[in-house]
Amino acid sequence: MADNSIASGSVSAETSRGPAAPAPATASADTTTFAVILSLSFCHLLNDMMQSMVPALYPILKENYALDFAQIGLITLAFQCTASLLQPLVGIYTDKRPMPYSLAIGMSSTFLGLILMSMARSYPVVLLAAAMIGIGSAVFHPEASRVARMASGGRHGLAQSLFQVGGNTGSAVGPLLAAFIIVPRGQESIVWFSAAALVAMVVLVGIGNWYGRNRHLGTPKSRPAPGTAGCVAITRARVTIAIGILVLLMFSKTVYSASLGSYYTFYLIDKFSLSIQEAQAALFVYLGAIVLGAVAGGWIGDKIGRIPVMWFSILGALPFTLALPHVSLASTLLLSLVIGVIMSSSFSAIIVYAQDLLPGRVGMVAGIFFGVSFGLGGLGAAALGKIADITSIETVYRACAFLPLFGLLIAFLPKLDRRHA
């Protein structure tokens, strides 16, 4: 069985380093592709920074509209479920018909959503604005993930993590900007950040030009069958089971992340009597740790394989999530940092592993897993909000602490990479 464990990512990486490629051409290609990947990462930063304004506004919206935690959760649900439902459809469509300028077009929905959010005077309008921002995410993530893989030169984990770290950075910076700009100045000031969407649209037009010239890099001459990772076939049933396991792993990490992303500030304010600004700064520390974990996870995954990274990232977080609800403020901040680093390291590993399982369906895989991430996060946020209303925020963290136990399912994943054997 070990002889059959060869991943398409490994094969393509080894082929790209073969002696037939002249050194000057390779260097030139590397320069070009890294420029594309870093541009995508920058746009991902802007995209997720704007998206993170939504949960950062929750304390203001809760006060302005007298919302309960369940209604706060519905805002997250409106945003994330819009993205969740549309992302797989966008990925499936663009796998067949690449659309180089769809990234810039999708960003315009985020632009309009931010303007509408700043002007909203009722709860339904807030929900509509959140949904429009979700539509922008639905278009951006699967197509941007495809272009990052096209530009990877076989280093799929590194490319995916560099792309992802932009989003994580934006998610970390957004609440901090909100704490010191939006909270003091009010909901209307969010319109200032719509300028970031305009900048992203300009950059994405340039990426669209590169995409249009190099779309052959992401179009195989013949589409491989599902499970033919590299040169070895895996049965369709095992592929289906593996995808189901990956979805459950994404569920465990995403719902726990939703508990911190949506309610961490309320938890700190309620349990430790922090101010809104102090709680947002603490959320920034946690989100900053996610950036570090995302970069490390992609790079290490290319070196030792995806499955070891998943083991460490999901099951390895369990001792820290169990301890979090029972410690002091200083220990809470420290544990949230450790949890952020560990849990975020598996995201690129899950995406690349799934893309290796389903070669030729990069957009569909990215759409499914980014969509699952948003959708499960939205459902989790809504459910956790209801639990918090009935019990308390602290009860939410006590219950969520056991979610990393889903990591035990990793034992049932087929080994695709020869480094696993």
Q: Write down the residue that tokens 């602290």 correspond to.
A: 394
Q: What is the 3-state secondary structure (H, E, C) of 129-164?
A: HHHHHHHHHHHHHHHHHHHHHHCCCCCHHHHHHHHH
Instruction: Compute the distance between CA of residue 245 and CA of residue 179 in angstroms, rounded to an integer.
Output: 38
Query: pTM for this one?
Result: 0.65
CB 104 within 8 A of CB 204: yes
Q: What integer is the mean pLDDT of 89-102?
A: 81
CB 187 within 8 A of CB 118: yes
Q: Which residue did the predictor score with more confidence, 401 or 68?
A: 401
Q: What integer is the mean pLDDT of 323-339?
A: 93
Per-residue pLDDT reduced to its tens digit, 192-217 = 888 999 999 999 999 989 888 876 66
Q: Which residue did the predictor score with more confidence, 69 or 271?
A: 271
Q: How far is CA 80 from CA 114, 146, 269, 394, in A?
A: 15, 21, 25, 24
Tell me how long the chain is: 421
Give the pLDDT of residue 16: 37
Determine the residue type at 333.
L
| Closest to 347 (Cα-Cα) out of 305, 304, 295, 411 | 295
CB atoms near residue 31 (< 10 Å): 9
| Closest to 257 (Cα-Cα) out of 211, 302, 317 | 317
Instruction: Compute the distance between CA of residue 327 and CA of residue 337 in angstroms, rounded to an integer.
Output: 14
CB atoms near residue 312 (< 10 Å): 17
Asked if the model's pLDDT at residue 228 lies above 50, the reply is: no
CB 149 within 8 A of CB 159: yes
Instruction: Compute the distance between CA of residue 130 and CA of residue 132 in angstroms, rounded to an integer.
Output: 5
Give the CA-trace dihedral at 75, 81, 87, 89, to 10 degrees. -140
Per-residue pLDDT reduced to its tens digit, 26-49 = 334 444 478 898 999 999 999 988
CATH hierarchy code of domain 2-13+25-420 = 1.20.1250.20
Asked if the model's pLDDT at residue 405 lies above 90, the reply is: yes
Residue 185, classified by CB atoms within 10 Å of its CB into exposed (0-12), middle (13-18) or buried (19+), is exposed
Which stretch of 16-30, 68-82, 283-297 has the lowest confidence by average pLDDT?
Answer: 16-30
Confidence band, pLDDT 50/70/90 cuts, at residue 233: low
Most confidently predicted of 79-93, 101-115, 162-176, 357-371: 101-115
3-state secondary structure of 362: helix
Residue 109: both structure tokens together = 């929905």
Give the pLDDT of residue 17: 40
What's the half-sphere exposure (Cβ side, CA atoms, 13 Å) at 275?
7
CB 283 within 8 A of CB 406: no
Asked if the model's pLDDT at residue 222 lies above 50, the reply is: no
Give the pLDDT of residue 257: 83
Give the pLDDT of residue 215: 67
CB 348 within 8 A of CB 160: yes
Q: Where are the domains of the chain?
A: 2-13+25-420
Give the pLDDT of residue 5: 38
CB 157 within 8 A of CB 306: yes
Confidence band, pLDDT 50/70/90 cuts, at residue 218: low
Instruction: Compute the distance between CA of residue 412 and CA of residue 409 in angstroms, rounded to an integer.
Output: 6
At CA 138, angle to CA 46 and CA 30, rounded to 5?
Answer: 55
> Does an H or E element contain 55, and which?
helix 53-56
Instruction: Compute the distance between CA of residue 263 and CA of residue 393 in angstroms, rounded to an integer.
Output: 8
**Diameter of the chain measured on Cα atoms:** 66
Computed over every residue of the chain, the mean pLDDT equals: 79
